[in-house]
Structures are given as C-alpha cells and as structure tokens.
Amino acid sequence: MVNDAWMEECLIGISKIGGEEVQFHSLMETADFDIGDKDIEGIPLVNGGRVTKWTPEADSMVTFEAYSLEAGAGEGFFDLLHVDDVIVTSTTTGTTSDKLVDTGVNFSTLGVAAGDKVRNTTDDTEAVVTAVDSVTVLSIDSDIMTSSEDYIITDSPYRVTNSRTRVKHRILVLWTDKTSPVKASEAIANTLNAYRIGYADSYITSVKTAFTDGIVKHTITYKVVPFDKSGASNVMQESCAAGGGSDALPVVADYTTSNKFG
C-alpha cells in the first residue's frame, strides 16, 4: 500500500440479522476494538512446578463515538438498541426515472405515504417519497433507484421507542486503498490492499447520548461473545496485500441466521 499504515478513514457497516447493511462511517469519530483475551492461569504443584490452566476466551467489545443526524434510519443510533421505524425492507424489480418500482410489495397495504424516506442501501443514497403512484410504484424526489437494488423505507417523522426487544447485529469495518468504496462488505480485488474486521451474532448493549461542547454526541457499545452455542466463531479479521492471484477479499454476504461472514 502507498502509506505505512492504515490511516484516517474506514467504512463501518452495521446490519441487523436478516436486514440490510447500513453504512455509518461518515458519522463516526472513533472506533475502539477490545478483542477478548485468551488468558491462562498457573496452578502450583507440590513439586514446585506449574500446570497451565486455560481460561475460556473472553467476550469482545466495540465502542464507537459518533454524531447523529436523525433518530435512526442509518443516520442515528437509538434504533440499534431498540425497535426502529422501518416500514419496508425489499429489493427493486424495475427501473424508471425518479421512481421506485417493486412488484414484490404492496405500498398501500404497508402504509407508505408522501414524505416517507427511501434509503438505497446498495449504494447508500437517499430520497423522499413524493407520491404513491400505485401499489408497486412510488414517485421519489431523486433518481436513486434502479432494478435489483436493496432499499428501506421509513416513516416520517422518524420515531424510535424503547422496547424489550433484543436484535442480533453484525459489524464490519473496512480499511482499503480502493477508490470510492461503498460498503464495508464489498469485494476487494487482488490488485488492491484491504484490512477488514468483522463481528457477528451479538448485541448493541448501550447508546449513551450527551450534549457536550455544543453538539449532540453518542457513545455506542457492542458486545460480542467469541463463539455461538455450536462453537462457531463470531469474530473475524482478514486482509489482502495486492499480491495477485487469490490475494483478494471476497464480498461478505448479507447477514442472516445461516450466514455470518460467508
């Protein structure tokens, strides 16, 4: 890579299980990764020797310091801890200028209305619904949608209420010298450098909001158990160094009950 170390910028993608990866990198100030220790303990023997006792790998923790623009919907953080206000999560089936076309849903039944926000989670762009043309077509104020792109629609105004619900999340953090990367989960070619950290199957446990030095700031904590109940890993790191051949990062598939990092 051109520089001696990864510096200054990265992509941070957060996914609810079964949901789309939302990019938060533009709102983050710092990210600290406390990867769980694999400690040991010495057990003394009567002959003066020691037996090494393994301590199970400890939980990991990620802490973000960040600035919200809204309550949630990819521009805030309270919805990571509680129930969000997303009314549609789907994929477009057609392309029309300044429209969102999806024959797989019924926008009227779902309660979509003018003023609701559309976020294209494939390329991280936004628009506002200006009219419900039919049960499968919306007019939007910016031409952001083409066929086969993932999106969410949120109510306007956006509201998040606290709840007893706990939802698993996956976090991916990507550093790369790729020009204009879009998602932390995207593939990196064998001619480029990249370093990616991944955590899955664990929970946002804290979102603390403070008004300090004239600005609203949040401290978000994500706690990760090292393995799931079957013993499969929940923590991943990978890198490539422009070595050609197989020295590339694959795309990380959407986070589901059957896929963590595949």
CATH of the domain at 128: 2.40.30
Say if residue 239's pLDDT is above 80.
yes
Q: Within this chain, do residues 28 and 120 fall inside the same structural domain, yes or no?
A: no
Mean pLDDT on 131-147: 95
Say if residue 21's pLDDT is above 90.
no
Q: Within this chain, do residues 177 and 220 fall inside the same structural domain, yes or no?
A: yes
Q: Within this chain, do residues 148 and 193 fall inside the same structural domain, yes or no?
A: no
Closest CA to 105 of 73, 84, 115, 118: 118
Q: Within this chain, do residues 63 and 92 fall inside the same structural domain, yes or no?
A: no
CA trace torsion 141, 147, 148, 152 (10° rounding): 20
Give residue 14's pLDDT.
92
Structural domains counted in the chain? 2
Say if residue 171's pLDDT is above 80.
yes
Can you give the pTM of this predicted structure? 0.80
Q: Within this chain, do residues 76 and 91 fall inside the same structural domain, yes or no?
A: no
Is there a contact between 158 and 128 (Cβ–Cβ < 8 Å)?
no
Taking only the tens place, the pLDDT of each residue in 30-50 is 999 999 999 999 999 999 999
Say if residue 141's pLDDT is above 90.
yes
Burial 71-105 (b: 16+ CB within 10 A, else e): bbbbbbbbbbbbbbbbebebebeeeeeebbbbeeb
Is there a contact between 22 and 34 (Cβ–Cβ < 8 Å)?
no
Q: Within this chain, do residues 93 and 183 fall inside the same structural domain, yes or no?
A: no
| CATH (domain of 206) | 2.30.110
Give residue 147's pLDDT.
95
Q: Within this chain, do residues 186 and 67 fall inside the same structural domain, yes or no?
A: yes
Q: Residue 167 is part of which domain span?
A: 11-38+55-81+162-241
Question: What is the C-alpha separation between 132 and 249, in angstroms, rounded?
Answer: 40
Give residue 84's pLDDT.
72
130 domain residue, yes or no: yes
Burial 13-22 (b: 16+ CB within 10 A, else e): bbbbbebbbb
Is there a contact between 235 and 222 (Cβ–Cβ < 8 Å)?
no
Q: Within this chain, do residues 168 and 74 fall inside the same structural domain, yes or no?
A: yes
1 domain residue, yes or no: no
Given pLDDT bands bounded at 50, 70 and 90, which one contains residue 19?
A: confident
Largest CA distance in the chain: 84
Give residue 11's pLDDT.
94
Q: Within this chain, do residues 123 and 187 fall inside the same structural domain, yes or no?
A: no
Q: Within this chain, do residues 186 and 75 fall inside the same structural domain, yes or no?
A: yes
135 domain residue, yes or no: yes
Q: Which of 107, 138, 154 is the last residue of a domain?
A: 154
Q: Within this chain, do residues 77 and 95 fall inside the same structural domain, yes or no?
A: no
What rounded mean pLDDT belongs to the chain?
91
Taking only the tens place, the pLDDT of each residue in 57-104 is 999 999 999 998 877 767 788 888 887 778 888 999 999 999 999 999
